[in-house]
Copies of this chain bind each other. A is one copy, B any other.
Amino acid sequence: MSAGCRGFLHHVFDYETAKTLVIPHFGVGIVFRFTQLLVVLYVVGYVCVVQKGYQETDSVISTVTTKVKGFAYTNTSDMDPRMWDVADYVIPPQGDSSFFILTNLVVTPEQTQSHCPELPNPSTVCKDDCDCIEGYNDPRRNGIRTGLCENFSTTVKTCEVFSWCPLEVDTRLPKKALLAAAENFTVLIKNSITYPKFNFHGRNILPHVNSSYLAHCEFNRLTDPDCPIFRLKRIISEAEADFQEMAVKGGILGILIDWSCDLDWWAGKCLPKYSFRLYIWLFFRFAKFYKRADGVEERTLIKAYGIRFEVIVFGTAGKFGIVPAIVNLGAALSFLSLVCKKKKYYIKSKSGDAQNLTVANIFIRCPLLQTGLC
């Protein structure tokens, strides 16, 4: 074999290893092993057990359906006696993850496209037609000005507008929520989730929950934590809010379902965790459209206050993965090799024998930090 070939083979297959020096010094050994133990505890205890650093993760995909139950009876001076059921107070009615329950409202019935005087306001009050410019359009007011100044009442004149008349008078909001009985309504939430990377499927209606239990149960953290039927009063109080206060002025309640789980076989079952959170909100306006016998289109404008419930499903699942496990182990190994790299200065002994040494100056040196500490 040629010299180059032999040199290459030696290069590849010669095994090289560091010469090490063994120091039978008990104190140094204790410190060394203790520091190694700390690193091992970090890897096993903190990274593995607490942070689960050896796991791969995946995000949840979810589908939610809801069903509200309950009805309310109202009888006020403003409105005829009325029975309200889900087709009346749930908007939209499809049972999505986000639904609004009407609790208070201002109704302006029998609006038609016509002319009427504006509501009195510093910018709408007028003395004669010159004060009202035809075609003027203020988004904060109620319609397009016609250029005429009309009597709003016996005491005040305002600019006339073309709009849905009569105009809404929104100071008539009831102080006590009209549908105060909504606090006793219940909502059934059905939620299916998937973690596609791990091919895991879950449902919030657990296998042991049968139809007869579902027909009568109600969610309670202590006695019935598996029942997916929630009484509105309870979940709003868990969010540290008052139902009647929210019902008057409107709000958003988040129903958060956390599906974060450990999917390894040694972990327990993967179950959803419910929590409730309040966000502030106002109102919205919608209309019901009708046609009169004479063909004129008419509408009932409803300024709706209520509580919007949003079911928000989130979660991260973890499962053992070789790549994250190796990465965390590798990082720990680097730190182990960092522990106490010592540099020794040898003082040549009288005999010149490298093995009979007198350790004159032992100190710990860390290549990165350049200090005398480790």
Q: Is the CB of A29 within 8 A of B14?
A: yes
Identify which of A62-70, A123-131, A172-180, A262-270 touches chain B. Answer: A62-70
Specify which chain B residues have a CB less than 8 angstroms from the CB of A184 in the assembled complex. Answer: 139
Q: In the complex the two chains form, what is the Cα distance from A17 to B334 in whole Å?
A: 16
Q: Is the CB of B286 within 8 A of A87?
A: yes
Q: Is the CB of B341 within 8 A of A196?
A: no
Q: Is the CB of A83 within 8 A of B164?
A: yes
Specify which chain B residues have a CB less than 8 angstroms from the CB of A301 in the assembled complex. Answer: 87
Check if A374 is an interface residue, CB within 8 A of chain B. Answer: no
6 shortest interchain CB distances as A-B pairs: A330-B331, A13-B29, A330-B334, A87-B287, A333-B334, A93-B286
Give how many copies assemble into the complex: 3
> Which positions 329-374 of chain A face chain B at CB distance < 8 Å?
329-338, 340-346, 348, 352-355, 367-368, 370
Q: Is the interface of A mostly helix, strand, loop or mixed?
A: mixed
Q: Is the CB of B185 within 8 A of A139?
A: yes
Q: Which chain A residues have a beta carbon within 8 Å of chain B's beta carbons?
A: 10-26, 28-30, 32-33, 36, 40, 42, 46-47, 51, 53, 59, 61, 63, 65, 67, 69-71, 73, 80-83, 85-88, 91-96, 98, 100, 113, 137, 139-140, 142-144, 162-164, 181, 184-186, 190, 192, 194, 196, 252, 254, 256, 258, 277, 279, 281-282, 284-293, 298-299, 301, 308, 310, 312, 314, 316, 321-323, 326-338, 340-346, 348, 352-355, 367-368, 370
Task: Give min CB distance, A192 to chain B, whole Å.
Answer: 5
Q: Is the CB of A329 within 8 A of B326?
A: no
**Interface CB pairs A-B, < 8 A, 25:** A10-B24, A14-B23, A14-B24, A14-B29, A15-B29, A16-B23, A17-B21, A18-B18, A20-B344, A42-B326, A53-B323, A61-B314, A65-B281, A71-B143, A81-B113, A85-B164, A86-B285, A87-B286, A92-B94, A288-B289, A327-B327, A333-B334, A333-B337, A337-B337, A348-B355
